[in-house]
Amino acid sequence: MLTLDHLVIVAPDLAAGVAHVRDGLGVDMPEGGRHREMATRNHLLRLGPATFLEVIAVDAAAAPPGRPRWFGLDDGVRVRADWEAGRRLRGWVARTGDLDGLLGRHPGLFGDALAVSRGALRWRFAVRRDGAWPEDGALPCPMTWGEGPHPAGAMPDLGCRLAGLTLTHPDPDRIAALYRTLRLADAPAVRAGAFGYRAEIATPHGLRVLS
């Protein structure tokens, strides 16, 4: 089974991503760190004991990774177009205890499992060979943390909690069927419309929305 792990805001730069969350939720996201294997950086906001929000962008100070970055970050034109169109909450990541089995059952859909890191933290993450989102973001990127506690437990608790997640999509029935096939736990509600995510987040300032 796949379980919602974290939401991902893909930003043209970290400052813009952090400002978007500040404007939407009224909180400043703590810095996460650098991903050496992907040449990216992030900020992280705890949304529960095993859930968080990530803002991620290219790490301009890092050497190119020698392979496509995750979350479509190499396509700067697309990242900027999505950002300006309001598609800032670009997708989500789901965790599983059987990443290799999942990839074997769905060859070509999610890509290959790679070992990645942030500081001392290590995990395995499926990345397509073109770096693109599965189903352009309608499906999550799968990963596994392996043994040990979930990293959200070590993040500062700023009083934010995920209350709901909705995906609008031009073909909602097909996406909902894919969610059922993949046995997704806590999958987004799917509605008809132009592609986009809407997350309801309880904050110390009340219920807020990110998209």
pLDDT digits (tens, 9 = 90+) for 121-147: 999 999 999 999 999 999 999 999 988
Going by pLDDT thresholds of 50, 70 and 90, the confidence category of residue 165 is very high
Q: Which pLDDT does position 146 carry in this prediction? A: 80
Write the pLDDT tens digit of every residue in 77-112. Answer: 999 999 999 999 999 999 999 999 999 999 999 999
Distances (CA, A) of 80 to 41, 76, 107: 17, 6, 30
Q: pTM (2 decimals)? A: 0.97
pLDDT reported for residue 1:
84
Beta strands in 119-195, from DSSP E residues, in sequence order: 121-127, 141-144, 161-169, 184-185, 189-192
Q: In the numeric block, which tokens belong to residue 73?
A: 């970050």
Length, in residues, of the chain: 211
Give pLDDT tens digits for 175-187.
Answer: 999 999 999 999 9
Residue 66: count other Cβ atoms within 10 Å of its Cβ: 7
